[in-house]
Amino acid sequence: MMMDRRFFWWFSVAGNLLFEIWLSMPRECLMQSGYKWTLLFIVAVSHTALVITGEMPSQLFFLMPVTAAGYLGLIKGKRPVNRILLNVAALVTLLFFLSDMFVISGDLLIAVGNLTLAFHAIKSFDIRTPGDGLQVFFMSVIQLVVASELDQPLIFGAIFLVFIASSVLFIMASHQAAQVGKMPRGLLKLGIILTLVVLPVVALIFVLMPRGAGGLFGSRNRQKAMSGFDDKVSIGTFEEVISSADVVMRITMPDGQAVEPYWRGKVFETYEKNSWESRWTHGFPYRNRKGEIQFARKMPKKGIVQAVLLKPPKSGTVFGISEIVSIACDSRWVVQYPNGEVAVSRRRKKRLNYQVVSTGEQPKVRKKTLDLYRQLPDGMERTAKLAESITSGARDEAEKCQAIMNWLRKNCSYSLKVPLAESVGNPIEDFLFHTKKGYCEYYATAMVLMLRSVGVPARIVAGYRGGDFNPYGGYYVVRQANAHTWVEAAIGPRWVRFDPTPSTAGGSRSIFSNYLDILGFAWDRYVVGYSVEDRQTLLGQLKWPGSGAENTGRLPAMAIAMLIVVGISMVVGRMLFLWRRKYTFQKRMRPVSILAVQIIKWLSRAYPETADMSWRAATRKVQDISLQTRLRLFFEKYETLRFGSGPLPTKEQVEELKELARDVQGKNRSRSDE
């Protein structure tokens, strides 16, 4: 397994930036409680970002209370743990990381996430200097990058903004604690101002760097998305199917709501060993050079337009109302199969975003392939006899289809909990003659097999049925629970759809749920799914120069934005800190500087020959030893505070200088009176 070179590139860039910031900081500082709490908060935010992905192994979550215990000990002022013990723990963690990456999970991204969890747990017991705090901060940045690659739900955006704000506070707190030894009162206000300065930079970076096809860590073998849809339909495998409300895709239709649309996906022809498979492994490929491909020679005057935002798919299957005649997408290749199925090449992308145009008609029947749709497996004698008895009074193929569909709806009941077949070899006959309970796969399979037994060519189609229409957003929300299979029968020149599965009533969604889903849709479409085409459109509308998209489409914008924003936050935070330090310094030293100028003017008047001399040479000209001593002491302390590189002068030091200046002026007046 080879690590993605981009992994090392980004780590080296961020590492160099953080290392230079670390070199500019003092080696020791007063670790005030505010600084420690800020660091703990950053760690909590980055851990939360990892947890909400749902991808991290729960076995390692025990490290989180260990990490919390370490930071609570830091806040209470307990001594760090012996470094020999921590080094042993670090070595064990490194060995676990290597075995995790190559053996346990086999996934670089998960392994890095686990490594950061272990690092935080170990480092929480060994924070001594600002450099240690910076290492923790850097590891939290890595956690956020890993979380952004694993998943990016709507809540991740809020966590990202909180992380930016807390990062700004941490950077400023570390500088302030190192320089003045305490947290200033105005730090929170200053942090808010700096955050407001950084956020427009984040927005600009996001606009200029769209989400690409590949992530920061390359491709991953993930099997999370679309559990309600599969490339294979199996019967009798599961005793119970759990309905999931997870969103699979959102479909916008400019023409408005349709009458319970069927989102056609894959077509299956062959039934063997209780499973449906497609025999069409090769289709007609189209090279997508212009971003849109038309399958029909003549496009319909008014087609059904569907803009689909599909969550991470297992395959490149394109879903849409039948029959799809064109598709606009960013995939390099599009394939159309003889059975009307459409698929796109799966570039390593988390979401598929495409637009299809459909006619609303079923695919045409290809007479050369009809024999494929008449095949029956062995052992279906009882099913064939039942089909013959049901269709005995039918006059044509259409009536046969209607008769079988009506019988299934009347005599069988819909259930997601199906007892395993008594006859392991034939779950469909068990469904028809014993349990008479099943879900859509049972209904559709039974109907196809019965139709074939009476000479009607038929096939299974898998996809999604219906969905929740959001009237406020004008789109369908299709969930895993909407996954469905139905039947297509060859009647006349076209395939005709039949759905033997009884309809199940779905609950209505509340207004709040609909508006909340609009936010989720906007996040998925315009943030996570922000593409090169979106950037070109936006920059074109703004009429910005240089809106070409030669290579930027491949850059992982979220990860880039986070790393760059962290760097910008550090640099801007440092500049803002120095500016504030200078302002505070001038404000405190101004009265003393005025006194120093007055003393120098008095020296030049009392001793004209000292006008061009340094203060050391000038004070030696003063005859009064007591006055000379006070002058030298005043200028030495003034020079140290005014031009030294140490911390800001305290109010006590300034008052001491003022007292010395008044003492010098008093001695001067006494000398003048004499």
Q: Please tell me the number of Cα atoms within 13 Å of 399 on its side-chain side.
A: 8
In the DSSP assignment, the letter for residue 583 is: H
| Per-residue pLDDT, 370 | 92
Residue 561 in tokens: 């934005």
In the DSSP assignment, the letter for residue 501 is: S
Per-residue model confidence as pLDDT tens digits over 444-503: 999 999 999 999 999 999 999 988 887 777 888 898 888 899 999 999 999 999 999 987
pLDDT of 18 > 50? The answer is no
| Per-residue pLDDT, 298 | 80
Backbone angles phi, psi at 302, to 5 degrees: -135, 95
Alpha-carbon span 465 to 439, nearest angstrom:
14
- Non-local CB neighbours of 84 within 8 Å, separated by 6+ positions: none
How much is the average pLDDT of 347-356? 73
Alpha-carbon span 250 to 478, nearest angstrom:
6
Following DSSP, what letter does each residue of 318-359 receive, concatenated? PPBSS-EEEEE-S-SEEEE-TTS-EEE---S-S-EEEEEEE-
How much is the average pLDDT of 221-240? 55
490 to each of 143, 365, 482, 496, how far by Cα in Å? 54, 6, 25, 6
% of the chain residues with pLDDT over 70: 56
Query: Strands (DSSP E) along 350-493, which ranges?
Result: 352-358, 413-414, 437-438, 458-465, 468-470, 475-479, 483-491
Minimum mean pLDDT range among 252-261, 383-392, 653-662: 653-662
| Per-residue pLDDT, 278 | 86
pLDDT category of residue 549 using cuts at 50, 70 and 90 = very low
| Lookup result for tokens 């060994």 | 126
Backbone angles phi, psi at 447, to 5 degrees: -70, -40
pLDDT category of residue 421 using cuts at 50, 70 and 90 = low
Minimum mean pLDDT range among 420-434, 477-491, 527-541: 527-541
Residue scoring higher pLDDT (120 or 148) = 120
Minimum mean pLDDT range among 34-48, 307-321, 431-445, 615-629: 615-629
| Per-residue pLDDT, 180 | 43
pLDDT of 156 > 60? The answer is yes
Mean pLDDT (the chain, rounded): 72
Minimum mean pLDDT range among 34-38, 658-662, 670-674: 670-674
Minimum mean pLDDT range among 9-23, 194-208, 505-519: 9-23
Degrees to nearest 5, angle at CA 389 with 384 and 392: 115
Amino acid at 46: S
pLDDT of 590 > 80? The answer is no
Contact 319, 355 (CB under 8 A): no
pLDDT of 77 > 80? The answer is no
Q: How many residues does the chain have?
A: 674
The DSSP bridge pattern shows strands 494-498 and 483-491 to be: antiparallel
Alpha-carbon span 655 to 176, nearest angstrom:
22
Degrees to nearest 5, angle at CA 548 with 543 and 554: 130
Minimum mean pLDDT range among 180-194, 375-389, 609-623: 180-194
**Peptide bond before residue 341 is cis, with ω within 30 degrees of 0:** no
Residue scoring higher pLDDT (605 or 152) = 605
pLDDT of 629 > 60? The answer is yes
Amino acid at 213: A
Residue scoring higher pLDDT (313 or 653) = 313
Alpha-carbon span 333 to 329, nearest angstrom:
10
Alpha-carbon span 448 to 267, nearest angstrom:
13
pLDDT of 622 > 70? The answer is no
Each as own residue / partner, the long-range contacts of residues 605-609 (CB below 8 Å, 24 or more positions apart, any chain) are 606/668
Residue 318 in tokens: 């394109």
Q: Please tell me the number of Cα atoms within 13 Å of 477 on its side-chain side.
A: 23
| Per-residue pLDDT, 313 | 72
Amino acid at 55: E
Minimum mean pLDDT range among 39-48, 238-247, 422-431, 519-528: 519-528
Contact 183, 172 (CB under 8 A): no
**Which residues pair with residue 275 across a beta bridge?**
234, 272
Amino acid at 653: Q
Query: Strands (DSSP E) along 432-491, which ranges?
Result: 437-438, 458-465, 468-470, 475-479, 483-491
Alpha-carbon span 578 to 572, nearest angstrom:
10
pLDDT of 206 > 60? The answer is no
How much is the average pLDDT of 322-327? 92
Of the candidates 414, 393, 530, 566, the residue with the CA atom closest to the CA atom of residue 18: 566
Contact 420, 487 (CB under 8 A): no
Q: Please tell me the number of Cα atoms within 13 Å of 275 on its side-chain side.
A: 10
601 to each of 7, 157, 560, 613, how far by Cα in Å? 64, 62, 58, 12
113 to each of 47, 56, 89, 144, how far by Cα in Å? 10, 7, 17, 9
Of 81-95, 485-499, 538-552, 594-608, where does the model show the most confidence?
485-499
pLDDT of 359 > 80? The answer is yes
Alpha-carbon span 428 to 434, nearest angstrom:
10
Contact 365, 374 (CB under 8 A): no
How much is the average pLDDT of 233-243? 64
Strand ranges across the sheet with 475-479: 292-294, 324-328, 352-358, 304-310, 247-252, 475-479, 468-470
Residue 612 in tokens: 């061009």
Backbone angles phi, psi at 71, to 5 degrees: -75, -35
In the DSSP assignment, the letter for residue 527 is: I
Alpha-carbon span 396 to 451, nearest angstrom:
12
pLDDT of 535 > 80? The answer is no
| Per-residue pLDDT, 486 | 95
Residue scoring higher pLDDT (426 or 176) = 426
